[in-house]
């Protein structure tokens, strides 16, 4: 019974999002992965969040060498599914539309991805640092694959900025 329902969810999404997405797959019973271009990402995620009353779980930023992949995890609780919207933001243009300007749930995670991986979220209302210290050097992104601990020495810290 549940299986049949989930096939429907998949078909429904395929039909509704046909022109906006690159591909859609369902590797497991309760997981759907949708691939979109960075330009379309905000639009698709907002649509899913509002239309299907999805819960926003979180977003993951992954350093994929050619760019930063951002995955928005949305849970559709009425159908017991997690819908993952993936998009690859290339290193040449690390910019993506902010969803946080409209939906507050996305604000903190966008701040986190911004400081940890260096993706710029256009239109974010409050782009301060969330987890890193204010004195942490600018232009260093700890969650990138090429970041090493030795990249940041004590001299790099700008204590004036943090007021210490």
Partner 1 sequence: MKQTIIPLGPYHPLLEEPEHFKLYVEGERVVDLDVEIGYNHRGIEKLSEVKTWDQVPYLVERICGICSTSHPMAYCLAVEDLIGCEIPERAQLIRVVVCELERIHSHLLWVGLAGHFIGYNTVWMWAWKYRETILEICEKLTGNRNHYAMFKPGGVRRDFNKEQVDYGLERIVEMEKPIRLLTDAILDDPVIHKRLKGIGVLTKKDAVSYSALGPTSRGSGVPWDVRHDEPLDGFKDLKWKVIVQEDGDVFSKGVVRLLECFESISMIKQALVKLPEGGVIDADIREIPMGEGCGRYEAPRGEVFHYVRSDGSNMPYRHKVRAPTFNNLPTFKASCKGETIADVALITASIDPCYCCTERVAVVDKNNNEKILREKDLLKLSVDKTHNIMKRLGKTPPLYNMEI
Q: Which residues contribute to the site for partner 1 (CB under 8 A)?
A: 27-28, 30-31, 33, 53, 55-58, 60, 62-63, 71, 73, 75, 77, 80, 82, 84, 103-105, 107-109, 129-133, 142-143
Name the strand (E) or helix (H) holding 43: helix 38-51
Task: Find where tokens 């299907």 sit.
Answer: 52
* 16 in Cβ contact with 94 (< 8 Å): no
- Give the span between the Cα atoms of 106 and 98, in whole angstroms: 8
Task: Find where tokens 């969040």 sit.
Answer: 49
Complex with partner 1: residue 15 or 145, whichever CB lies closer: 145
Q: In angstroms, give the least distance from the CB of 79 to partner 1.
A: 9
Complex with partner 1: residue 24 or 132, whichever CB lies closer: 132
Q: In angstroms, give the least distance from the CB of 19 to partner 1.
A: 26
């Amino acid at each position: 019974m549940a299986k049949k329902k989930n096939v429907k969810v998949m078909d429904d999404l395929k039909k509704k999002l046909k022109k906006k997405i690159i591909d859609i797959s369902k590797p497991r019973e309760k997981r759907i992965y949708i691939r979109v271009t960075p330009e379309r990402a905000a639009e698709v995620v907002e649509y899913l969040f509002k239309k299907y009353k999805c819960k926003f779980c979180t977003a993951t930023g992954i350093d994929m060498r050619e760019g930063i992949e951002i995955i928005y995890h949305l849970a559709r609780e009425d159908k017991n599914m997690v819908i993952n919207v993936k998009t690859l933001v290339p290193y040449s243009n690390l910019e993506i539309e902010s969803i946080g300007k409209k939906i507050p749930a996305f604000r903190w995670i966008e701040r986190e991805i911004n400081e940890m991986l260096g993706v710029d979220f256009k239109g974010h209302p409050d782009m301060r640092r969330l987890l890193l210290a204010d004195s942490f050097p600018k232009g260093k992104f700890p969650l990138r694959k090429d970041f090493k601990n030795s990249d940041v020495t004590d001299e790099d810290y700008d204590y004036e900025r943090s007021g210490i």
